[in-house]
Structure 1
């Protein structure tokens, strides 16, 4: 085993665990808080239930999958549709009914997988497809990181948008410091390059005038999370359920890439069924108190790949800190004051590492590209996943990794059918 790897079951001393858990907290914080901000609800509620949900997930998966559950972006479009039908927070209450239904669907999928096993995964996700899907997970997020870093215009930018030298400089310096720390530091410091990069970037951003302490000053020291009532309406539930089609392949992909990183087949031990059950039960409980659906986070997978610290104790520590933050407004506001430029520089590295993990899958599986089916599978998955091709399912756009996964399944089954009918010209 490679030296300096901290495996899933290993427990580190508290003072070593704390900064490692903070790395995961910083990695997920921006995206997790952004979702409730867009919906106009209390971020503290989401932090609380994401932390609790992650602990539930770790418990159900027997502490064998180092995954943090954060707010899913897949629900932004359908929730906006539901919110538009009502005034005030009533729309969000009906959206919670849809979240509950999605949680039930995830639980049902987990139970089905428990009954039929995971042998079908090898059939629908051969290495040529799986490696490409994992690569797409990272590559489709790269433009988002580039926007955060100030290199390209955001989607809502005006025609006179221009690159901000301060933003780009801060993001590049953050990225450079993180890389230098990663490849030069030794011992314990070697496994916290992200934390060092974020802190260094924050200091640089402060002197560049990019840090705004207004929210920190206005935040209360103690702020109890807000709980929202749940309501059910079939039309609203049906508007949100299609997002599960995005969540399911995303969950499978994240579980597989995490398994590749830690060097274990997590779909078999503890099992993909337990992973779906953990995600589903977490989402159900979250919906009952007013929180958004949970999903495994690519940002945290990137942290695993860089640090080689796979301990679920560290993930659990991040979850406990998130629960703590949900009650302490100033601390949460301080973390949320980290400039986008800083997280953009870090995200370029995190998302890039996920993409490289996909390429690593292709290399380690020794995929034979002399076989046309392997070439086609990898090619089509990359093209569909990165082209921006979109299929609209009601109010939910199916694109990127979700659409690429479905296309990969169809192609893999087609090639298998050719084998059964003995129509393939490849052995």
Structure 2
């Protein structure tokens, strides 16, 4: 499957070039922090703290995963699960509580995956956690939930001079460029970094159209360390539960990527090796949350790069981690990303969220669609999305933390999917099949 094996090295220039390609595929770093800032009306300085922490978190975990821990070509990056969880928590509480609760949830999951012998619990439950019906359906739910952040932003901000169709056409340009790179990019860097190319071209068009100007970088230092707890520190147990669910999804997705990549490279993937990788991922997300970083998972886009290039060297992904780690100490880069055009990012995120949803549909191809599995997926899908339209007076009568959970499709969806999947496929299905077998033998 691979032309360059997982434990093989490339010449340093090629290692750096392919490492940069992996870094450019981490679209969550470039989009999620700015969308959080736009949704919560944060200042550019606050958004830059999140960007800087995301680079730190991505770099730290990717270096550890590729070099000493799981020793696979795994690239970590901000995931939509944590993005949605942070938005939901901050809307009910504040960002300090969101990130503080993520730290607590991360510590809990570190204990669950402690890599000593066979003690790590998480590695033993991959059969339940990585079930495609659970996370395939969940990705579709997440994509649908995030749709309201994308297209409406193409028109800009109401009340500003640029609001309206002039901004909309800039968004159209962004989408056309991204689609062009995806369709005609072949196996080149343009295809893997299509969203980033769209953002770059859209930013130039927005500048020429007069609806955006580059942010001032004078107040940001050239070199600086990320700020610890830039939004304060708080813990709320309902938010801890939300973050536990996000960690669960991130861990399950990571296990799927470990299994896929190790199979391509002919690597043996033991339970202890899985737990080492998960422990490192949870450790990195916990440390990163203390600096305001969005929790990570193993990026499918980077696994796609490995599949296309057939270069599976873990030293290449380690180079990507080194690049990200270095960017964490360049505040002006983070400030520039924080000041990118909201219209451009909204257009780019529309494609990104669509990719998330379609990735879920691809996962669902592995499901055997009998009546039992349809009951699990269909019920979870329609109920979780339908809660967005529960009457406001009904939600207002509930405690805020419960209302926030019910009114967040991703969170309610993962609870319903896991619960129904265990109930239907691991309790009810064996009993029904046993009855059928007995009836067949009696006949």
Is 1:184 aligned to 2:197, yes or no? no
Q: CA deviation at 1:77?
A: 5.1
**Matches of 1:139 and 1:269 in 2, distance apart?**
36
Alignment CA distance shift 1:382-1:259 (3 Å): farther
Question: What's the CA shift string for 1:130-156, capped at 9, x where partnerless?
Answer: 432233233332332223434xx99xx
Q: 1:107 aligns with which of 87, 107, 110?
A: 110
CA contact (8 A) 1:302 1:353 kept: no
Question: What's the CA shift string for 1:125-181, capped at 9, x where partnerless?
Answer: 65444432233233332332223434xx99xx79x9997213221121111112112
Deviates more, 1:302-311 or 1:197-206: 302-311
Match of 1:213 in 2: 214
Alignment CA distance shift 1:267-1:361 (3 Å): farther
TM-score (norm: length of structure 1): 0.74
Alignment CA distance shift 1:176-1:261 (3 Å): farther
1:162-173 maps to which residues of 2 (within 5 A)? 164-173=164-173
Q: 2:139 aligns with which of 129, 134, 140?
A: 134
Match of 1:406 in 2: 415
1:231-250 maps to which residues of 2 (within 5 A)? 236=235, 238=237, 240-250=239-249
**Matches of 1:48 and 1:306 in 2, distance apart?**
20
CA contact (8 A) 2:229 2:292 kept: no
Q: CA deviation at 1:351?
A: 2.2
Question: What's the CA shift string for 1:244-280, capped at 9, x where partnerless?
Answer: 3332333145336656986959996676533431232
Question: What's the CA shift string for 1:52-90, capped at 9, x where partnerless?
Answer: 24434555332343322479432455467666xxxxxxx
Match of 1:87 in 2: none
**Matches of 1:342 and 1:315 in 2, distance apart?**
28
Secondary structure of the residue aligned to 1:68 is: strand
**Matches of 1:388 and 1:162 in 2, distance apart?**
34
Structure 1 portions without partners, runs of 5+ = 84-90
Alignment CA distance shift 1:334-1:11 (3 Å): farther
Secondary structure of the residue aligned to 2:188 is: helix
Match of 2:427 in 1: 417
Alignment CA distance shift 1:184-1:237 (3 Å): closer
Match of 1:17 in 2: 18
Secondary structure of the residue aligned to 2:253 is: helix
TM-score (norm: length of structure 2): 0.72
Q: CA deviation at 1:281?
A: 1.4
Secondary structure of the residue aligned to 1:140 is: helix
CA contact (8 A) 1:8 1:65 kept: no
CA contact (8 A) 1:22 1:318 kept: yes
Deviates more, 1:239-248 or 1:405-414: 239-248
**Matches of 2:150 and 2:7 in 1, distance apart?**
31
Secondary structure of the residue aligned to 1:413 is: helix
Q: CA deviation at 1:295?
A: 1.7
CA contact (8 A) 2:75 2:302 kept: no
CA contact (8 A) 1:254 1:296 kept: no
**Matches of 2:315 and 2:34 in 1, distance apart?**
23
Alignment CA distance shift 1:403-1:198 (3 Å): same
**Matches of 1:122 and 1:403 in 2, distance apart?**
21
Deviates more, 1:237-246 or 1:38-47: 38-47
Match of 1:46 in 2: 53
Secondary structure of the residue aligned to 2:427 is: helix
Match of 1:360 in 2: 362
**Matches of 2:231 and 2:345 in 1, distance apart?**
34
Q: CA deviation at 1:225?
A: 3.3
Matched positions, count: 404
**Matches of 1:382 and 1:6 in 2, distance apart?**
41
CA contact (8 A) 2:102 2:286 kept: yes
Cα RMSD of the aligned pairs, angstroms, is 4.5
